[in-house]
Structure 1
Amino acid sequence: MVTTAGTRRLTERGAKTRARIVAAAADLMYVKGVGDTTLDDVLAASGVSKSQLYHHFNGKEALVRAVIEHMGEFVINRERDALGRVSTIRGLRRWRDALVQANALRHGAYGCAIGSLASEVSDHDDVARAALSRLFLEWQGLLAAVLQRMQDAGTLPPEASVDQLATGLMAALQGGYLLAQTAHDVAPMATSIDMALAHIESLSAG
């Protein structure tokens, strides 16, 4: 038996069906947007029946919340792997390069997976907004941890606020994603992050 984020306990087969529905919905909502993705779209993409979908989700709102959990887990795990051992400005620049290059493969078309969700659902679903807020705070915390390691190593001066710098870097990243999405060009994203990193580097105690 598998326990989902709610109270329902699923068989292994049921868990696989649910995961297939969520994965299909996540792909569709990332490309088409939440508003333009219908449950019929999800049924067609996942290959499940309507009764199976409604067995796991009582409507689109519940499915969107599951997509947020799914995409959030993917993004945070990726960022944890990328940032977990970074302790230098050079390491942050490698992190920047990886994100920009990955977005360049899509010509900046879709933006940040969780940022795009936030722009669509935050105003009308407080549960989803709170979940997204926690994800952004966790991501920002990973950046703050990098900056703290730099400060501990003497790269950043002790008076520098790692939390404020992490907030600025996250804002530059998300703003860069949005600019890349609207322009279908990753150049604004690269510039935005570069400016934030240049500011952090300018504070170097060395």
Structure 2
Amino acid sequence: MEERSSQATTSRLTARGAKTRSRIVGTAADLMRVRGVGGTTLDDVIVASNVSKSQLYRHFEDKQALVRAVIELVGDRTIAIERERLSKVMTFAGLRRWRDALVENNALQEGRYGCPLGSLANEVSDQDSIARKRLLDLFSAWQELFEDLLRRFQKADLIPQEADVSQLATGLLAAVQGGYLLAQASRDVTPMASAIDMALAHLHTLHSKRNAAS
């Protein structure tokens, strides 16, 4: 109900108002990415986005509302990027390229900030049930992308038809999230690479067993 209300409010914004709102949310997302949700105040967002306090409160009644908008923005970006990358994966070589791109991108900042979605989930899930539910939906969407990939692998006879794609997709997502967390703690993407490699090795094992049974 609240989500529909928020969407209706956004649709009624003038072009200028929508631009201001977008700037506020984008700025808040950038600040929270670096400082964390707890380390980012509304005053920080006001200064960084070059808006007045009244402008900010015209769009967001409090910090919780702004954080929910940040989750929407970050979630849409993250899922869109992963959809673009994973939709192209048709082979194990393609899966390896996806893995390399993910790890190399995180290495640019030495794994400093973790997963955009995972970091938000760590901070807000226990404080805001609506935000937690939205984050769960986003992680489910990410898992579905892995499930689609694995079904393509089944269709191409790369993994057994009887393989549980839901379980395998959960394992892949867990490897990615755990890898992000370990890289963030160590400031080194090596643990992230290892975690994902273990998940991919399991898929290779399924492939080998399928070939042996043929």
Shorter-normalised TM range? over 0.9
Equivalent in 19, 23, 26 of residue 23 of structure 1: 26
Output the amino acid matched with 2:7. Answer: G
Cα distance in 2, alignment partners of residues 130 and 87 from structure 1: 31
Cα distance in 1, alignment partners of residues 5 and 105 from structure 2: 30
Cα separation, partners in 2 of 1:54 and 1:183, compared to 1, 3 Å: same
| Identical-residue share of aligned pairs (%) | 61
Once the two structures are superposed, residues 63-87 of structure 1 have per-residue CA deviations (whole angstroms, 9 ceiling, x without a partner) of: 0000000000100110111011312
Cα distance in 2, alignment partners of residues 61 and 139 from structure 1: 24
DSSP 3-state at the match of 2:8: coil
Q: Give the aligned length.
A: 204
- Where is the helix percentage greater, Structure 1 or Structure 2? 2
Q: Which TM-score applies when normalising by structure 1?
A: 0.97
> What are the equivalent positions in structure 2 for 1:133-172 lying under 5 Å apart?
133-172=136-175
Equivalent in 195, 202, 206 of residue 199 of structure 1: 202
In the TM superposition, residue 4 of structure 1 has moved relative to its aligned partner by: 8.5
Output the amino acid matched with 1:6. Answer: Q
Output the amino acid matched with 2:113. Answer: Y
Instruction: Indicate whether 1:80 and 2:83 are aligned.
Output: yes
Cα separation, partners in 2 of 1:68 and 1:141, compared to 1, 3 Å: same
Output the amino acid matched with 2:110. Answer: H
In the TM superposition, residue 157 of structure 1 has moved relative to its aligned partner by: 0.6
Instruction: Indicate whether 1:132 and 2:152 are aligned.
Output: no
In the TM superposition, residue 5 of structure 1 has moved relative to its aligned partner by: 4.3
Q: Which TM-score applies when normalising by structure 2?
A: 0.93
Match of 2:102 in 1: 99
Cα distance in 1, alignment partners of residues 120 and 5 from structure 2: 21
Cα distance in 2, alignment partners of residues 145 and 7 from structure 1: 32
Match of 1:52 in 2: 55
Cα distance in 1, alignment partners of residues 193 and 5 from structure 2: 38
Matched-pair contact (CA < 8 Å) for 1:43–1:50: yes
Task: Give 4+ residue runs of structure 1 displaced > 3 Å after superposition.
Answer: none
Match of 1:64 in 2: 67
Cα distance in 1, alignment partners of residues 18 and 6 from structure 2: 11
Cα distance in 2, alignment partners of residues 4 and 63 from structure 1: 14
Match of 2:41 in 1: 38
